[in-house]
Amino acid sequence: MSRPNFFILGAPKCGTTSLAAWLSQHPDVFIPPEKELNFFDDDHSYNERMSLAQYERLFAAADAKAIGEASVWYLYSRTAVANILKYQPDARFIVCVRDPVDMAFSLHQQQQFSRWEDLADFREAWEAQEARKHGAPVAAPERSHLYYGDVCKLGEQVERLLAQTDKVHFVRLEVLRADPRRVYQGVLEFLEVPPHDADYGAHNVAKVRRSLFVQKLLQSLFRTKHRLGIRASFGALTKLYQWNTRRSEWKPDPALAAELERYFESDREKLDRLIAGQGAAAQRKWRAISS
């Protein structure tokens, strides 16, 4: 039976979708088409959770040296890495990171796009965090995914990860965008597979909906398709989805941007220190990519 031996842990909105798409093009790498399997983060709530048999079935036909999956909430989870290491003691981990201020806004846009966030204004959502931690109603099945400050404190999460394993490779989104080929080749070296070139297109960029009505209609149709077990692509639905989606850009309020800079300052310093330290301490075998 084939089991995954590497995991893209996260973080959300840090380039994981693009990296997984590039890796899936490599002949010696297998990643199932489904992303966000969320099997090992059992401290989080989801509308559906697969069984071990269902999870392993996704990898049953894998015939590759590097077999992996990408679930961006594993890094934020307090249980996922321990669960993964219990399941696969030799697991390797890839962690994508980015500037936390940009990450927080992009995550808010993604959660709103997915209809898990009902506050369209980022400041309102940022200020609602404490109320949500004390039980204020939320649309998301896992309310902690809307705690933007906690989710984007990557230094704390990386510190927890490195306390459990040193088989970690870091990718900065800023470097990924500037030099995707170099970053990709570094990941392949970490996975010990031959060099390869991919189609370096961007995936899962921050976006918003043109029409809420069209969004609700599409979600209903996609749920029906899933319930009926229909896997074939419906071209008309795809085109409608593409029409209803447009990219989003953040034009920050200066006061809010300054508030977020102060909030993340110490954690940002911790993240930079940990990534640099991990790269120096494990240079013989693990190479950290940073700016």
Q: What is the pLDDT of residues 76-122, one digit of tens each?
A: 999 999 999 999 999 999 999 999 999 999 999 999 988 899 999 99
CA distance 36 to 59: 15
CA atoms of 281 and 269, how far apart (whole Å): 18
pLDDT band at 34 (very low <50, low <70, confident <90, very high): confident
Distance between CA atoms of 166 and 263, rounded to whole angstroms?
Answer: 28
CB 207, CB 113: distance < 8 Å: yes
- Tell me the percentage of the chain whose pLDDT exceeds 90: 71
What is the rounded distance in angstroms from the CA atom of residue 18 to the CA atom of residue 152?
19
Query: Which domains are seen in the chain, by residue range?
Result: 6-104+153-205+265-281 (3.40.50.300), 207-247 (no CATH)
Residue 11: its pLDDT value, please? 94
pLDDT digits (tens, 9 = 90+) for 228-237: 555 455 556 5
Binned at pLDDT 50, 70 and 90, residue 13 comes out as very high
